[in-house]
């Protein structure tokens, strides 16, 4: 029965040995909500986990099944990627970003999680004096954990107060120390759904070149800034990217959200020609390989997984090609998330909440996969717990590195009218109580 008592919530948190709810992992929050569902007998509304809320693209499913039937399951995949996938990845980037990335620099990984983890490892090694990763906050909680596991130094800041021209001064104050090897952010942002403006991308790119920093741009939700239509391949407007402003870039392109192919763990690490071909004395000595790209593929990736599943590579290649051909409109398909976000925002705003990260420059943020919600002056921990008591599971902004109070709202699992109606009732009950 809802709302759950404070004592019950406290007891379950203690039983699950969650030391701090605001820094708990998404999986820990899922386990907590599952336990509270049993305690209350009520089905929770899940805003915490970002599973795709749309069916997997059948083009990928059919290509993967065909590849398996052809007998590829008993063969190791090429560690650098199948030729078809490398070519289709290069073509896709030209079609939707208007950038030229050589096929040799397109490398499949077991999701962007493996891509960022393995790339951070090599970035840590490339130059002895550069041992620090700059992480833009708020961000995907797994990425700072990856750096921590690798024993990598990190520096970070919350972009909330540093948009537009303010970003340059803040960024330069960090980079001028000379110890930053790479920086990482998601665009659109997870959890805030902010999008860097062209002015901000130019600043990031220019300073990356100036201070010899490699930018990792996580494009898990590429094309999902629905304020402008980037759905037409090889036609402007193209999807914004830092690659327009520096050669020091690595793009992470995942099939998980744009193609709803999360279960098959397939993504692309896309290295510019400059990044791939550059030689480093430390890497040549350690890996005995001539270039950064070769050290990444044959040194790091090989030892991490011996390659990405053969069949998933065929699926990804088929989906990328159909998208570049204009026969798979993944951008329009993804607009369903925008529709859900519009409805959810209305429910939250009507019940005393506000959007925490609300603007890109002078524009309201787009409606998409995530948004951030705060409630009056309530701190993050209290808000997260009180929503839990009312059968609403979310993650708090502190676990994303944010210094603001609030929670992340993921819209992907809220699809049917009954769930929308139920969420509205629970938010009203929450607001009535507080």
Q: Which class for 58: exposed (0-12), middle (13-18), buried (19 or more C-beta within 10 A)?
A: exposed
pTM: 0.95
Q: Which two tokens stand for residue 256?
A: 């998980």
For the segment 343-400, what is each residue's pLDDT rounded down to a tens digit?
Answer: 999 999 999 999 999 999 889 999 999 999 999 999 999 999 999 999 999 999 999 9
Distances (CA, A) of 11 to 16, 20, 205, 380: 9, 14, 49, 20
Q: What is the distance between the alpha carbons of residues 249 and 113, in angstroms, rounded to a whole number? A: 17
Burial 2-11 (b: 16+ CB within 10 A, else e): bbbeeeebee
Helices and strands, number each (H, E), in the chain: 17, 15
| DSSP state letter for 262 | G
- Can you give the pLDDT at residue 177? 97
**How many Å apart are CA 323 and CA 352, to the nearest integer?**
41
- Band of the pLDDT at 167, cuts 50, 70, 90? very high
How much is the pLDDT for 362?
A: 87
Q: Using the predicted structure, report yes or no on whether residue 26 has a pLDDT greater than 90.
A: no
pLDDT, residue 25, reads 82
User: How many angstroms from the chain centroid is the CA of residue 301?
Assistant: 20
Whole-angstrom distance, CA of residue 41 vs CA of residue 125: 51
Residue 79 burial by Cβ neighbours in a 10 Å radius (0-12, 13-18, 19+):
middle
């Amino acid at each position: 029965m809802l709302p759950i008592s404070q004592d019950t919530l406290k007891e379950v948190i203690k039983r699950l040995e969650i030391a701090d709810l605001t820094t708990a992992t998404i999986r820990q929050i899922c386990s907590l909500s599952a336990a509270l569902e049993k305690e209350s007998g009520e089905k929770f509304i899940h805003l915490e986990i970002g599973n795709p809320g749309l069916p997997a693209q059948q083009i990928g499913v059919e290509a993967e099944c065909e590849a398996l039937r052809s007998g590829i399951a008993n063969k190791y995949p090429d560690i650098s990627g199948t030729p078809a996938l490398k070519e289709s990845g290069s073509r896709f980037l030209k079609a939707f970003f208007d950038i030229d990335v050589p096929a040799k620099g397109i490398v499949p990984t077991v999701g962007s999680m493996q891509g960022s983890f393995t790339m951070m490892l090599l970035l840590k090694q490339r130059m002895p004096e550069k041992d620090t990763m700059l992480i833009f906050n708020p961000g995907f909680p797994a990425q700072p954990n990856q750096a921590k596991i690798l024993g990598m130094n990190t520096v970070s800041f919350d972009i909330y107060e540093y948009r537009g021209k303010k970003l340059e001064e803040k960024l330069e104050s960090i980079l001028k120390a000379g110890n930053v090897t790479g920086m990482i952010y998601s665009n659109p942002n997870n959890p805030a759904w902010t999008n860097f403006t062209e002015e901000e991308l130019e600043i990031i790119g220019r300073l990356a070149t100036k201070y010899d920093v490699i930018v990792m741009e996580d494009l898990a939700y590429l094309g999902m800034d629905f304020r402008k239509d980037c759905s037409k391949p090889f036609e402007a407007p193209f999807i914004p990217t830092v690659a327009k402003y520096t050669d020091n870039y690595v793009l992470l392109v995942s099939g998980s959200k744009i193609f709803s192919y999360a279960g098959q763990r397939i993504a692309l690490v896309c290295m510019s020609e400059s990044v791939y071909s550059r030689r480093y004395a430390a890497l040549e000595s350690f890996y005995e390989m001539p270039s950064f790209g070769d050290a990444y593929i044959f040194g790091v990736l090989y030892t991490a997984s011996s390659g990405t599943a053969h069949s998933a590579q065929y699926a990804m290649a088929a989906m990328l090609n159909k998208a570049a051909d204009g026969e798979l409109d993944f951008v329009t398909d993804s607009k369903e998330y925008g529709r859900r976000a519009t409805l959810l925002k209305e429910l939250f705003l009507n019940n005393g909440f506000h959007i925490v990260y609300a603007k890109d420059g002078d524009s309201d943020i787009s409606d998409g996969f995530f948004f951030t919600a705060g409630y009056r002056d309530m701190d993050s921990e209290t808000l997260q717990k009180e929503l839990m008591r009312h059968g609403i599971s979310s993650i708090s902004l502190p676990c994303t590195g944010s210094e603001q109070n609030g929670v992340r709202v993921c819209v992907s699992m809220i699809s049917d009218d009954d769930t929308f109606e139920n969420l509205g009732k629970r938010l009203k009950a929450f607001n009535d109580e507080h």
